[in-house]
Chains A and B, each alone.
Chain A
């Protein structure tokens, strides 16, 4: 079992819609959870982090964490073509290690 799993996509949504990205992790002791966005050929950039169960909102982005189900998600409201990228979920199974999922490719079409 992979430590962090994501659906590779592509996830295609129309402009203005809500994009929902999901991630599951295997280590129940994981403490920190991150969502990164990566444009083709570029380094990943942090979108959001979440440490506690529940929802965390930042602008058009909402991260959701459910530690009992070992599940973390990212919602993007009012999706824009500029949101088209690969979204990477990352988890710290130990405080000194950061493991990434394979990423979900999002395509927002006009």
Chain B
């Protein structure tokens, strides 16, 4: 069966520090991969999605970047965090046109 791992579960980082969140998927090949952010009490904002290794589509211009160095690995990064980067970050995978399956999420607080 397929599983998705996302870590860490919580993270507190100072303003201006770098960020790296990693997500890996097991049990499937060539999945679509997604990074979403959810602000408190709000919906899921699509940040990036990827249909293959090295292929990244950015939905919202911002202080973040994403990379897909391997088929089942998706990384979200920032060189310098802003207060506005705080939120609940969710990684997800899907097959083409199918439902998304989510990791446990990372609650990021920038202080």
Whether the pair B97, A32 counts as a contact (CB closer than 8 A) is yes
Whether the pair B94, A43 counts as a contact (CB closer than 8 A) is no
A interface secondary structure, majority? strand
Q: Measured between alpha carbons, how far is A44 from B44 in the docked complex, in Å?
A: 10
Closest to B32 in A: A96
Interface residue ranges of B39-62 to A (CB < 8 Å)? 42-44, 46, 49, 51, 57
Whether the pair B103, A103 counts as a contact (CB closer than 8 A) is no
- Number of chain A residues close to chain B: CB under 8 A: 23
Whether the pair B43, A32 counts as a contact (CB closer than 8 A) is no
- Number of chain B residues close to chain A: CB under 8 A: 24
| A71 on interface, CB distance cutoff 8 Å | no
B55 to chain A, nearest CB (A): 9
Whether the pair B99, A96 counts as a contact (CB closer than 8 A) is no
Whether the pair B32, A46 counts as a contact (CB closer than 8 A) is no
Q: Measured between alpha carbons, how far is A101 from B107 in the docked complex, in Å?
A: 20
| B100 on interface, CB distance cutoff 8 Å | yes
Q: List 17 A-B contacts (CB under 8 A).
A: A6-B43, A34-B100, A44-B44, A49-B99, A88-B43, A90-B99, A96-B51, A97-B46, A98-B34, A98-B92, A98-B100, A99-B46, A100-B44, A100-B46, A101-B43, A102-B43, A103-B43
Closest to A89 in B: B43
Q: Which residues of A contact B7 (CB under 8 A)?
A: none
Q: Which residues of B contact A99 (CB under 8 A)?
A: 46
| B27 on interface, CB distance cutoff 8 Å | no
Whether the pair A100, B49 counts as a contact (CB closer than 8 A) is no
Whether the pair A46, B44 counts as a contact (CB closer than 8 A) is no
Interface residue ranges of B17-73 to A (CB < 8 Å)? 32, 34, 36, 42-44, 46, 49, 51, 57
